[in-house]
Amino acid sequence: MRPFKHIQASTIEEAAALAAHEDVMVIAGGTDLLGTLKDECLPYYPNYIVDLKTIPGLASIEEQGDEIVIGALAKLQDIADSELVRTHAQALAEACSRAASPTIRQMGTLGGNICQMHRCWYFRCPDNRFVCARKGGKECYAYKGDNRYHSILGIEGGCLAASSHDTAPALAALGATIVTTAREIPAEEFFAANGLRSNILENGELVKKVRVPKTANSRFEKFALRKSIDFPLVNCAVAEDAAHQVHIVLGACYPSPKRMTEAEEAVKGGITEASAQAAGDAAVSKVMVLSKNEYKVEIARTLVKRTLLRLINE
């Protein structure tokens, strides 16, 4: 790893001002960033790293009226263990409990999880050996290459990498709002293949907290090769809002979490074994599989059905 200068920020505003410079990156838990820097997979290397952990008040999990407000530095394990989150945003608690490994969950933060870069092996290839479309190149190498873990629902921003966040589909299904230093963004609109980012943040814009509406009924499911540590092959979150409308979001099937509106239509009359099956079928009715990832279709179909049935059976 190359040397860099470490800056301890005292306020989120100070950190945001520093992060606006091209040679600066920010660090929270560091579980994603440090590996990225070690492998030198980006087209540039920062001269400065701004530490967010020294900023007070960003790790809280609080009840505020009809919402749960979670600081960007709240640890994934703390969110998973929170009785408040488990009671009123179960899908998020389950997502946090399934992210990575126990050790990483004790270090990784909610802000870091939603801001981590995609895990595509071309995008993250050590020594930046593949200048893909996201890095200013002309093509997504996964299209003709090894695409076994990539998108089955199309391309976004010239990229076929699949979203790897476990918390993202839960936040989108729950109707959460991402509060940054500049604005408030619905979670459903926050995630995108955007250059080196997996979200729509701009230079110098940092996540401060996440507001999650209390929801009586929500669930999360994940399929991974190694349950104890792996990124998802497919994950799914469902949540029933105050108007009893069911929201269904698939992750790891597209470069950003995907709201499955056609699947939601299938359960508008209520969730049954038959309607849950119909929702699973609808979720994969418009897939665009690649040469090596067709197997993900059946996983996605099954997770949608399984997650919906948990809403009525647990």
| Alpha helices by DSSP H, the chain | 12-19, 33-39, 76-81, 83-88, 90-98, 102-107, 110-115, 167-174, 187-190, 261-266, 273-283, 295-313
Q: What is the pLDDT of residues 238-251, one digit of tens each?
A: 999 988 999 999 99
| Gap between the Cα atoms of 47 and 210, Å rounded | 29
Q: Which sign, positive or negative, has the C-alpha torsion 203, 25, 97, 99?
A: positive
Residue 228: per-residue pLDDT: 72
Residue 279: per-residue pLDDT: 98
Beta strands, E only, 97-194 = 177-180, 184-186, 191-194
Residue 226: per-residue pLDDT: 85
Q: Which of 50, 54, 43, 46 is nearest to 17 (CA)?
A: 50
- Weakly modelled stretches of the chain, pLDDT under 70: none
Residue 295: per-residue pLDDT: 98
Extract the tokens encoding 312.
């009525």
Residue 130: per-residue pLDDT: 97
